[in-house]
Chain A
């Protein structure tokens, strides 16, 4: 008998009597009156700041300023997604390590914990949200939901090969519980809330 079958048989022999899966206690879960305000407050509580924009021009200016300094930017916003995505798709880590700034569009944001969902199709390359020195996330304000329960109802985890809920910049407190921002991933995260379709 294969190891697999041995393990499965041992589980069958030893598992407890079947209990039913619990129902979702919908109606008893938090819904914020103003999820955008909650999102803003939560981000501030972990050291971030929400910035409001009407269109993507503000971000474009930041991108151009970095590029003018000769720094590499992975701009995957709006019309750039297809072209930049294709450009970065098969680049190795040794190349991507020099990315100064990545700009990504999130699909959804969660008010209770400021996690934003970024699927692989919005990244170009799976390393891009992680290997860059700094990260900018664009989120439409009407895409902010109250809790993780609502978030999972709206995203698709069956199709794309990878996706991440990302909340804040990379951090560690492994040295004497002192919080240090910028462990292995991005050193900073700016979240721009878009008032309308950019």
Chain B
């Protein structure tokens, strides 16, 4: 099924101007917190470069690091599974659930499981999972996907959460106090943790030299699940590998500061071995990553540590909302990852950008995001995934711009039409540009005329 294209979904999002402005401001506030945290570290730029080089190096030796990780993890008593794609990932987890006759499952945040559609898949098999990150629980109750990879319910106001909790948790109607609502979720989810048989978590960093992995949360939900349940399954895309424990220092210094402006998340949990009597599984997933690794222009998108700094700074994301991107990972980074997963379905995303470059400037691992967005546009045009009207427009533009005489004639015509037949430009049907904008008053003369007349003075 073809999703609603970003531009159309964004058009719906901005119909509510007040809410759009609020969304914009809220995310900009997070961006400002990031700046403050980054400026508090004298060697910030050095850390970004260091992290970028570690990731470049890791991608260039990825097979060796994965093999070493596997060897160490197995020695630590961990079971390793490999999944070629989303379906295989889901099937591995389903098999463990069936084999062990599990019915009570808690999940902490994992964008990979969102990418693989794990919850929907399990639901179709008659198995329900409980998302335990507060934001994820809120959107799960509402039957919505997360709209942001770090702040899953950032598109909602407290009134929305209050209504949702009133329906699902029986909280007081109209009580919008975040403290009260969080307390209700705490009580509800504690019961789920305590009763859980299986905890599914993501992985922030997997360390090749130890076979261990790190999971970062502020709420403590990954730990509550993983240490309570008798089985823990951690799911990771294979690009989560870093070579050494010492490298964790670099990434943990960058991650939370880039994400929310905190110096570090409350919990950075280092898992190495299952506890006595527990099973620990790691599912290592490809799902298109090896293909992306082979695209020289796009491979360094695999350096991403999922901090979402590029979301928070993006003028298009802030004013169009995460759901407009119709993919598990939205925002600028999602727009360069998702065309690799499905070029046709996601051909709109690289165009959901002004190419201003702010994303690349805040990226803690120095991914050239805006350049890749631009390259994807060319790739998509070459592959025939760009709408005919856009292509014709671009070709027409190129034709005119390459011919100065024709360009000057067109300018004269446009100014005349704007002055005398302005209704043509103010038809939202004929002129999509006018939908959200006013047309300028047309000057009598072009800049060129003015310049030729004035340069002698």
A interface residues, Cβ below 8 angstroms from B: 2-4, 6-8, 10-22, 24-25, 28-30, 42, 46, 89-90, 92-94, 97, 110, 112-115, 120, 125-127, 129-131, 147-149, 151-153, 157-178, 180, 182-186
Q: Check A176–B178 contact: CB distance below 8 A.
A: yes
Contact of B263 among A20, A42, A130, A183 (CB under 8 A): A42
CB of B8, distance to nearest CB on chain A (Å): 27
Query: A7–B284 Cα gap in the complex (Å)?
Result: 10
| Contacts A131-B224, A160-B272; A112 near B61 (Cβ below 8 A) | no
Q: Check A25–B268 contact: CB distance below 8 A.
A: no
Closest to B65 in A: A11
CB of A31, distance to nearest CB on chain B (Å): 11
CB of A166, distance to nearest CB on chain B (Å): 6
| Contacts A174-B133, A175-B161; A3 near B227 (Cβ below 8 A) | no
Q: Check A172–B62 contact: CB distance below 8 A.
A: no
What are 25 sample pairs from A and B whose C-beta atoms fall under 8 A apart?
A10-B290, A17-B60, A24-B50, A89-B276, A90-B277, A97-B194, A110-B264, A112-B41, A115-B264, A147-B249, A147-B253, A152-B245, A157-B212, A157-B270, A161-B274, A161-B275, A162-B227, A164-B267, A164-B270, A165-B264, A166-B268, A170-B266, A175-B134, A178-B179, A183-B218
Find chain A residues with CB under 8 A from B41 CB: 30, 112
Contact-residue size bin, chain B (C-beta under 8 Å from the other chain): 35 or more
Contact stretch, chosen from B292-300, B348-356, B376-384, B424-432: B292-300
Contact of A14 among B57, B270, B290 (CB under 8 A): B290
Q: Confirm or deny: B129 has a beta carbon within 8 angstroms of a beta carbon on chain A.
A: no
Q: Confirm or deny: B421 has a beta carbon within 8 angstroms of a beta carbon on chain A.
A: no
Q: Confirm or deny: B262 has a beta carbon within 8 angstroms of a beta carbon on chain A.
A: yes
Q: Check B218–A171 contact: CB distance below 8 A.
A: yes
Q: Check B179–A180 contact: CB distance below 8 A.
A: yes
Find chain B residues with CB under 8 A from A113 CB: 253, 263-264
Contact stretch, chosen from B152-160, B408-416, B438-446, B448-456: B152-160
Q: Check B248–A148 contact: CB distance below 8 A.
A: yes
Closest to A127 in B: B227
Q: Confirm or deny: B358 has a beta carbon within 8 angstroms of a beta carbon on chain A.
A: no
| Contacts A22-B53, A22-B57, A162-B273; A167 near B245 (Cβ below 8 A) | no
Q: Check B56–A19 contact: CB distance below 8 A.
A: yes
Contact stretch, chosen from B82-90, B330-338, B363-371, B386-394: B82-90
Q: Check B220–A16 contact: CB distance below 8 A.
A: no
Q: Check B269–A183 contact: CB distance below 8 A.
A: no
Q: Confirm or deny: B138 has a beta carbon within 8 angstroms of a beta carbon on chain A.
A: yes
Contact of A167 among B189, B266, B276 (CB under 8 A): B266
Q: Check B60–A93 contact: CB distance below 8 A.
A: no
Q: Check A174–B42 contact: CB distance below 8 A.
A: no
One digit per residue, 1 when the CB lies within 8 angstroms of any chain A CB and 0 when it does not, for chain B 50-88 equals: 100110110111110011000000001000001110001
Q: Confirm or deny: B265 has a beta carbon within 8 angstroms of a beta carbon on chain A.
A: yes
| Contacts A14-B291, A148-B253; A174 near B135 (Cβ below 8 A) | yes
Most chain A beta-carbon contacts within 10 A, residue among B151, B266, B294: B266
User: From residue 185 to 216 of chain B, which have CB atoms closer than 8 A to chain A?
Assistant: 186, 189-190, 193-194, 207, 210, 212
Closest to A151 in B: B249
